[in-house]
């Protein structure tokens, strides 16, 4: 069926940045966690251990849930839509590395040897991963014309389940 001006307009409107979609949701998560890592960096020398532990616990929870919804919902759809298996494989390996650091941090307390260093390295891993997703993966997924609104609904639903 030939595309009409109306069809193109609807498609363009549906993928607009203001419309909630999977990429927007994931990007919001990225910004939220980045802000938490910056907060940790500012407070690591002067904060009470309990305050640091609480923030690190929030970071770990956010990252765990985010990785889970990416792996269960977004990545399978992206793998099918784009022909970039190396990029997708690297993203999964980066998740595995982050999960390993998260597990280590969850078994530690502030004041333990290397605690602050592990938080900072986790932040660096996440920053690298986010840049690759936002600069390489997300543009390719957008061009593939996935139904990002439907994926957003699935991500929201899975995230709610994981948070419980």
Tell me the pLDDT tens digit for each residue of 109-162.
999 999 999 999 999 999 999 999 999 999 999 999 889 999 999 999 999 999
Distances (CA, A) of 63 to 14, 120, 157: 28, 14, 17
Q: Please classify residue 95 by burial: count the beta carbons closer than 10 Å to its beta carbon, then call 0-12 exposed, 13-18 middle and 19+ buried.
A: buried
The per-residue pLDDT for 12 is 40
Q: Tell me the C-alpha distance between 158 and 22, whole Å.
A: 12
The per-residue pLDDT for 20 is 77
Residue pLDDT, tens place only, 24-61: 999 999 999 999 999 999 998 888 999 999 999 999 99
Range 60-65 average pLDDT = 97
Contacts 24+ apart (CB under 8 A), 116-122: 116/44, 119/37, 119/40, 119/44, 119/56, 119/59, 120/40, 120/41, 120/44, 122/37, 122/59, 122/63, 122/98
CB of 31 within 8 A of CB of 133?
Answer: no
Q: Which has the closest alpha carbon to 58: 36, 43, 38, 87?
A: 36
> How many C-beta atoms surround the C-beta of residue 135 within 10 A?
9
Q: Tell me the C-alpha distance between 4 and 118, whole Å.
A: 54
């Amino acid at each position: 069926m030939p595309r009409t001006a109306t069809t193109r307009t609807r498609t363009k409107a549906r993928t607009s940045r203001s419309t909630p979609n999977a990429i927007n949701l994931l990007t919001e998560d990225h910004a939220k966690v980045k802000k938490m890592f910056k907060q940790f960096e500012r407070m690591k020398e002067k904060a009470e251990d309990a305050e640091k532990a609480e923030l690190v616990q929030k970071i770990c929870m956010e990252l765990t849930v985010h990785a889970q919804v990416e792996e269960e919902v977004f990545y399978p759809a992206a793998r099918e839509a784009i022909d970039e298996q190396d990029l997708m494989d690297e993203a999964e390996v980066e998740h595995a590395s982050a999960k390993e650091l998260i597990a280590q941090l969850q078994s530690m307390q502030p004041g333990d040897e290397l605690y602050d260093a592990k938080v900072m390295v986790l932040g660096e891993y996440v920053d690298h991963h986010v840049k690759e997703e936002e600069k390489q993966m997300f543009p390719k997924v957008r061009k593939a014309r996935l139904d990002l609104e439907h994926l957003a609904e699935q991500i929201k639903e899975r995230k709610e389940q994981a948070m419980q």
